Amino acid sequence: MTVPQEAVARVRQLREELERHNYLYYVLDEPEIPDAEYDKLFRELERLEAENPLLATPDSPTRRIGAAPLAEFSQLTHRVPMLSLNNAFEDEEVAAFDRRVREGLGVERVEYAVDPKFDGLAISLIYENGILLQGATRGDGYTGEDVTTNLRTIKAIPLRLHTTNPPQLLEVRGEVLILKADFEKLNHQQRNKGEKEFANPRNAAAGSLRQLDPRITATRPLTFFAYGLGSVEGVSLPRKLSAVMDYLESLRVPVCRERKVVQGVEGLLEYYRMIGARRDSLPYDIDGVVYKVDDLDSQERLGFVARAPRFAVAHKFPAQEAMTELLGITVQVGRTGALTPVARLKPVFVGGAMVSNATLHNEDEIRRKDVRIGDTVIVRRAGDVIPEVVGVVMGNRHSSAQEFSLLEQYPVCPVCGSHVIRLPDEAAARCSGGLFCPAQRKQAILHFSSRRAMDIEGMGDKLVDQLVDKELIHTPADLYKLGMTTLANLDRMAEKSASNTLAAIEASKKTTLARFIFALGIRNVGEATAKDLARHFGGLDALMAADEGALQQMPDVGPVVAQSIAQFFAEPHNREVIAQLVAAGVHWAEGAGSPISTSPISGKIFVLTGTLPNLTRDEAKERIEALGGKVTGSVSKKTDFVVAGAEAGSKLVKAKELGVVVLDEIQLKEMLGE
């Protein structure tokens, strides 16, 4: 079956965009688009994958739940995955859900447990013998962040279940949130202290729960509502979800008072409209309601699809909208250099707040929606996060309405003056001054310092924030000018920490060309491409002098990647920072400039598993790739060698099943000529 190339390209674009927004929403708590826009992209990807089954892959966002846990917290594997719910937006979709449930169970009518859909942070609480043992965020649905210490500060969460006969194990699933009244008080306190106000209760709750210092969490007015269970041992529970919620209430676990049991699709829609009418008067923020089959045996019979249960659905409220005048369009430069068009609006009250700015996403969206300066536009505040312009009231358009061209109006970055470029396969235009642009400063320095780049241990978010905010560094080259006094005087930095950081900075000066290229943060250049560039050109001067044609002579470097590289090095600001880095002593061994085609492992595919006695996996990978070999993460018929160390697992088993040659560390070193 042939898959249309436009579908392949669109699926790739959607996946990249959804994963980026997953990261912004679940990990950074900095969403850029409304929930309604995310849902639209997600549903488009679902539709394309359904129409083209060959495009459905295990790593698609439609096969996962959220995003990876933060590295600062230890990880906790959920005993039962915390799956997300499919969404319904129209009455017809709810009717279709009810029909599927009835057909799956072979019954004429179904009872549903229904409750509001809280707009907070999903968590899991583990009680053993009635005592709160652990708590974690949803994370990616399978592994979450262990935030037990912070959860213990929330007074609504019982540390001990109110019963004389507790179950051996009870995993309570629920939502951490901040009530509307408490949110107003919190922001009032922020104003009085002269600190930044929180955008909305959801972000305030998420940020508060995931503080590294539990004392900060303890000062925030967090609360909790349970909505279900995960693992259960040592207790016989009722076989109705509604009765289970009653049981939790008897244990003094907070549950929602607005929950009900209803009959059939009529009951579902009646509840939806009732809660919608009460939405503004509820003490907490919600973005819809949740329907679940009440009978637990029926839930088990219905089971799950890839990422969601068949027995439940979330019925989302429509985004709140208003009309106003578009006065002008400016741009904001994001952390990655993307220029996002921003609509400057005649102020209008929408979604509970006065809105004067709204995102236009990118120039393609402006063209698609035919948005012009002077238009009357529809503004949506979906999810109460970031307002967006969703359309134009064409009947109100005047002949004086002006079209907007981003590259014509902003040929250079409004922040740093570097050239603005737009690659053929990207929707966003970007500033090309990645090493120099103040808007990208923190991102550029964090990437430059990361483990797989220059590997400057200790150069994390908090330290970079201080260094940039205090204007102690402006580019990665300034890292090598830092002194002991400067570092030791920063918050959470003592003389020992400062000494360790300076030692790490000094050690990073001796690196490899591949690491240095990767550290520059060139758009579309990952680790593998950086290594290929280092092998092919052998030196930085040759790479910087290469034009797009020369770059495309390399395998796996197409027009888009070649353009990214050439334009990065064409920017004088970037060349200036590179020169400063070299002058500061950053160095590497220059290579011959071509792949080692005569190596016995050139082109061979390796898989690493287990713990090697004297090599880390990264070291083994670097040595294999230096001789032209490739390292992949899974064993297949195409695998040439599996390098197995102590505690090798399923990969070793599969290698033996497929007859793949298995090497130990000594045999690997012999093959590498060491």
Helix (H, G, I), strand (E, B) or coil at 415: coil
How are beta strands 143-145 and 75-77 bridged, if at all? antiparallel
Helix (H, G, I), strand (E, B) or coil at 561: helix
- Measured between alpha carbons, how far is residue 502 from residues 303, 467, 475 in Å? 55, 14, 17
The C-alpha angle with vertex 563 and arms to 557 and 569, in degrees rounded to 5, equals 110
642/617 Cα distance (integer angstroms): 12
Q: 156-187: string of b/e by CB count within 10 Å (b at 16+)?
A: ebbeebeeeebbebbbbbbbbbbbbebbeebb
- E strand or H helix at 31: none
Distance, CA of 136 to chain centre: 17
Strands in 169-177's sheet, in edge-to-edge order, are 131-137, 121-128, 169-177, 223-233
488/495 Cα distance (integer angstroms): 5
- Measured between alpha carbons, how far is residue 107 from residues 103, 247, 308, 323, 662 in Å? 7, 27, 22, 46, 55
Q: Where are the extended beta strands (E) located within 408-495?
A: 420-421, 429-431
545/543 Cα distance (integer angstroms): 5
Are 122 and 173 in contact by the 8 Å Cβ rule? The answer is yes
Distance, CA of 81 to chain centre: 18
Token pair 């060491």 is found at: 674
Are 608 and 623 in contact by the 8 Å Cβ rule? The answer is no
Helix H segments across 178-320? Answer: 180-192, 201-209, 214-218, 241-250, 264-278, 296-302
Cβ-count burial of 592 within 10 angstroms (0-12 exposed, 13-18 middle, 19+ buried)?
exposed
Tokens of 361: 């996403």
How are beta strands 641-644 and 605-609 bridged, if at all? parallel
Distance, CA of 300 to chain centre: 31
117 is catalytic: yes
**Full DSSP string of 104-116:** HHT-S--EEEEEE
Are 613 and 665 in contact by the 8 Å Cβ rule? The answer is yes
For residue 174, list its beta bridge partners: 123, 226
Catalytic residue among 40, 117, 470, 651: 117
**Full DSSP string of 329-384:** EEEEE-TTSEEEEEEEEEEEEETTEEEEEEE---HHHHHHHT--BT-EEEEE-GGG
Question: For residue 519, which of 552, 476, 480 has the smallest C-alpha distance?
Answer: 476
140/138 Cα distance (integer angstroms): 6
Distance, CA of 254 to chain centre: 30
- Measured between alpha carbons, how far is residue 661 from residues 121, 254, 634, 635, 643 in Å? 47, 57, 14, 11, 9
Are 306 and 63 in contact by the 8 Å Cβ rule? The answer is yes
94/314 Cα distance (integer angstroms): 9
- Annotated active-site positions, please? 117
